[in-house]
Amino acid sequence: MVGAPGKKKRNKKKITFITLAVLAAIAVLAFIFLNLYINRSIAQVEGEIELPKLRDDVTILTDDNGVPHINANNAHDLYMAQGYVQANSRMFQMEMSRRQASGTLSEVVGEASVEQDKYFRTLGLRRAAEASYDIYSDESKQVLQWFADGVNAYIDEATSSNSLPVEFTLMGAEPEEWTPIDSLTIGKYMAFDLGGHWERQAFNYYALNQFPQEKAYELFPAYPENKPTIIEEEEVDVAASFKDAVIPHAFNGSNNWVVSGDKTSSGMPLLANDPHLGLATPSIWYQMHLTSPDTNVSGVIFAGVPGIILGHNDSIAWGVTNTGPDVQQLYVEKQNPEEPHEFLYDGKWEEADVIDEPIEVKDSETIDYQVVETRHGPVISEFSNESAGGTVMSLRWTALEATTELEAILEINQASDWNEFEQGLEKFLVPAQNFVFAGKDGTIAYKANGNIPIYDKAEDALLPLEGWKKENEWEGYIPFDELPTVINPDKGFIATANNKIVGEEDYPYHISHVWAQPYRYERISEVLSAGESLTADDMKALQMDQTNLQAREFVPFFMEVLEGQDLTAEQNEALKLLSDWDYTDEKHAPQPLIFHRWMNEIEAILYDDELPNEIMELFGGKGQTTDELLRKGDESIWIQENGGLQEVLQTSLNNTLNQLRDEYGSTMDDWQWGAYHQVQFDHPLSEISPFLAFFFNRENPIPVGGSSVTPMAASYDAASGIVNHGASWRFVMDTAEAKSYQLVAPGQAGHFRSEWYHDQMDDWARGAYHVTKTEENDGMKLTLTPNR
């Protein structure tokens, strides 16, 4: 009996050990199972796959950067293979894109996305896609269907083999059948993402209601000579009406330029393009190379759409930036007090269309939602039409009409010169874009292309118009042959950066009141004007250029205003640092941190007390307005009411330095722009929990230079400093070569276990490009075969 207690203890230890061993074994087995389950949804890039409906073998070579080079013997197989490959790599992204644009997220997300779904149902992007499909040619409809067949072949295969991406498991959903309308709806969503200024009209309306006229006009994007007046008969509560509206990012734009062979080392044109859109995982773009007997085109496309929208073929290269014209018009509509679905027009009550849009909600009841469309478009204020006799706002927008962008893309892909390219552009109607072109015949060209409304007076585009007056209708669109066009200019280059295209005195039509701040364009023009014997490497360097011309203008001005003032030692130290600055937003430098945070504080002083948060969301082009107020100085009412320019600058500088000292310490030389300004590329599911963020984001934020006003565009969230908007794709082409230099960040793949998931994040930050050839490619080989 003496040894029993020790034996018991040993037995207990043994049991504990066995239990732990069993639990460890279970954990290992679970880990292995989980890995096997997750890994089997990684896109297959080698071997052979049977694809129903395929007519002949298709070869897909995936290069070291995850770019698929698809070689098919006919158009049917080419686009079917494109659909299959996109789905194999980006199915979850494609599913979320079509749901967001169609207003069906609530079916898989639940009540959290109901208001967003209501907004997109109200806009009617999917209804516009359906109307567009009806006017497509039979040939284009075939391409859409072939592409959809490829997507559906992947969906059927992955569903039956239980190898859908893990995101579907987490959402408790499966993808529905893909249709041609889904592809067109995603195209319409891109028109939405590139905006059209209705929110600025709503903001201007609010400002005129809220402030004295002269004070309100200072916030307008263009000070009107013939000052528009507020609608006196009716008033809409803007803050309440648009509180749930989804507003695209204010900095949606891009850089592009093309250089004549007279200024290049190769003697052939150079072209560069970097579209600025949201930065997230996966990338908004998918890079591909498509070849068949009549096609050899390389570049990028939105996941879920056939063809190549930006890139080059054997003969030409092209790129785009957002023109940003006034293509959206708000109308104030008078409701009939007796019949809430009737609205006044030209002295008579007109019945609006009432469209049933039931919204299915996961784990909840279906919402019986209705959309009301007047002659101008959907009623978007408050997303509710229950009250009779009121005043509402409707939206007319070119993207809600039937348009044919996919046909344009397919024609552009096979164009061989400027004439054929321009013919294709005639079918590219929304969104209006600045196209630059380079041909191997030496031609460089530009066209501001798309449906741009004709206004009777430019001032009409600044405010909502009275919908009951016939004279407020658009007068058609600028004729295609009269859109701004430049071919082979004497200066040897053409560049755009969402800047003002042409002066009113030089062009008979109004295009826009809201333009990007001019600094990106001015810097690009500065470099290209001085350049000779330019190379592709020079184009890459310009895309990564971090020169801040806003700071070059305002820092000396600020110092002049503050000269002789009673400043603290800390303020003098900051101004001394700024005076020694080369105006480069370099990540290791303290000056860009001080300057940009100072500009943020200036805006806080000017606007925060007078403009509610929901109204600030509508204040598109705010930076442009702030610059103008600062240039006016003490003549500006907004600056006068805050104590004058000297007081605004000194108080905002003091606030800035107090914040930075708290965040980064008291030694100013140790402050760094990149300590605040960092890029992340978040996955949409990473916000749900830190656990998912660990898997889907994986990388720590990367310190980066640049800003929203430098050619290396890197716009950021002011609260966190996280860069969430910038060059979503970088592209450089020397037309003397059969290759291009591209970058798709954070990577090609949508699967977090893929080697191409985040492999281009560091490349994005440091400006490294990969080469994509259109001839003699090699890589991992996958063969798609018909059913034998």
Three-class SS of 35-70: HHHHHCCCCCCCEEEECCCCCCCEEEEECCCCCEEE
Provide the residue type at 783 as one letter.
T
- Cα–Cα dist 93/165, whole Å: 10
pLDDT at res. 146: 98
pLDDT at res. 24: 52
- Cα–Cα dist 315/73, whole Å: 21
4 belongs to a structural domain: yes
Instruction: Give the end of a domain, one of 647, 671, 695.
Output: 671
**Are 133 and 180 within 8 A, CB to CB?**
yes
Nearest CA to 684 among 341, 46, 171? 171
CA 443 from chain centre, in angstroms, equals 29
**Are 546 and 710 within 8 A, CB to CB?**
yes
654 belongs to a structural domain: yes
* Token reading at 283: 């990338």
pLDDT at res. 244: 79
pLDDT at res. 38: 82
Structural domains counted in the chain: 2
Residues in Cβ contact with 105 at an 8 Å cutoff, skipping those fewer than 6 apart: 96, 99, 113, 116, 117
pLDDT at res. 565: 94
564 belongs to a structural domain: yes
Instruction: Give the end of a domain, one of 628, 648, 671.
Output: 671
pLDDT at res. 450: 97
Structural domain harbouring 610? 549-583+590-671
Please check if 368 is assigned to a binding site: no
pLDDT at res. 16: 55
Question: 62: which strand partners?
Answer: 68, 780
367 belongs to a structural domain: no
CA 208 from chain centre, in angstroms, equals 30
* Token reading at 161: 């083999």
554 belongs to a structural domain: yes
- Got the DSSP string for 225-287? SS-----SS----HHHHTTT--PPPTT-EEEEEEE-GGGBSSSS-EEEEEEEEE-BSS-SEEE
646 belongs to a structural domain: yes
Instruction: Give the end of a domain, one of 642, 671, 700.
Output: 671
Question: Would you name the residues annotated as active-site residues?
Answer: 254
pLDDT at res. 229: 63
* Token reading at 709: 């006003």
283 belongs to a structural domain: no
CB atoms within 10 A of CB 493: 23
pLDDT at res. 386: 47
* Token reading at 574: 């900051």
Nearest CA to 302 among 443, 157, 188, 442? 188
pLDDT at res. 505: 79
CB atoms within 10 A of CB 3: 8
Q: Report in angstroms the alpha-carbon separations of 114 from 358, 384, 469, 495, 688.
A: 11, 14, 34, 42, 17
Q: Are strands 678-679 and 702-703 parallel, antiparallel or unpaired?
A: antiparallel
* Token reading at 786: 């018909």
Please report how the helices 549-562 and 591-607 are oriented relative to each other, as an axis angle in degrees rounded to 10: 70
Using 70 as the pLDDT threshold, list the residues of the chain that sit under it. 1-37, 223-227, 229-235, 250-252, 383-389, 788
328 belongs to a structural domain: no
User: Which residue in the block uniquely carries the two structure tokens 């007056």?
Assistant: 469
